[in-house]
Amino acid sequence: MSDHHHHDHDHASEPGSPLAETDLRVRALESLLVEKGLVDPAALDVLIDTYETKVGPRNGARVVARAWVDPAYKTRLLADARSAVAELGYQGRGGEEIMALENTPKVHNLVVCTLCSCYPWPVLGLPPVWYKSAPYRSRAVLDPRGVLREFGLEVPDDVEVRVWDSTSEVRYLVLPERPEGTEGMSESALAELVTRDAMIGVARVKPPVQGGRR
């Protein structure tokens, strides 16, 4: 088996620490599975490369920007997100079923998975640590406004907060509101404004900085 993936030194894993033990356990498991003919080490490298460099929130940002500039696309996205997302080439594992949730001046959507960490992989990639953490999973359903405040987002009382607990294979993507002052911006410039957090529903998309990049 190739060793080239192990060359980056992992300073957090001091010898004898729990993380160093985990590291050893994983290496032992990998060599066992390769030796038994159950996994192809070359396939592992392709899998890692896919999720580290190819699939990520830039995909979702392109979907959002397209929906902002193309009303027909937005209609398709809200009616059948799986097909609309596939139009841009994003599909498959962790997003076999997708629903898009539109934020409006009256409704704010927030996505969580209280039971595990379900997340729309083809459009957002792998979830950040906070999304998978106990503090977020426990409180997003109970106190969504408090959680949003923690993210710096104050939702007025007259706006309805909808929390989507991902309890099935249907995965949720928030379609954030297009910020003011972005009229005339190109689709690709708009995509640059869209953040992962806005597509989970814990942030708004901010208008471009004056004199900033277009």
Q: According to CB under 8 A, which residues from 21 to 80 bind another protein?
A: 22-23, 25-33, 35-40, 42-48, 50-52, 56
Q: Quote the tokens at residue 61.
A: 């940002």
CB of 186 to another protein, least distance (A): 25
Q: Choose between 35 and 187: whose C-beta lies nearer to another protein.
A: 35
Contact between 153 and another protein per CB under 8 A: no
CB of 133 to another protein, least distance (A): 7
Catalytic residue among 2, 31, 83, 116: 116
Q: Quote the tokens at residue 131.
A: 């999304």
Site for another protein in 168-187 (CB under 8 A): 168-170
Catalytic residue list contains 31: no
Site for another protein in 109-128 (CB under 8 A): 112, 114-117, 125-126, 128
Q: How far apart are CA 65 and CA 72, in angstroms?
A: 13
Contact between 14 and another protein per CB under 8 A: no
Number of residues that bind another protein (CB under 8 A): 83
Which of 137, 195, 200, 201 is in the footprint of another protein by CB under 8 A?
A: 137
Contact between 132 and another protein per CB under 8 A: yes
Closest CA to 116 of 136, 137, 130: 137
Active-site residue set? 113, 116-118
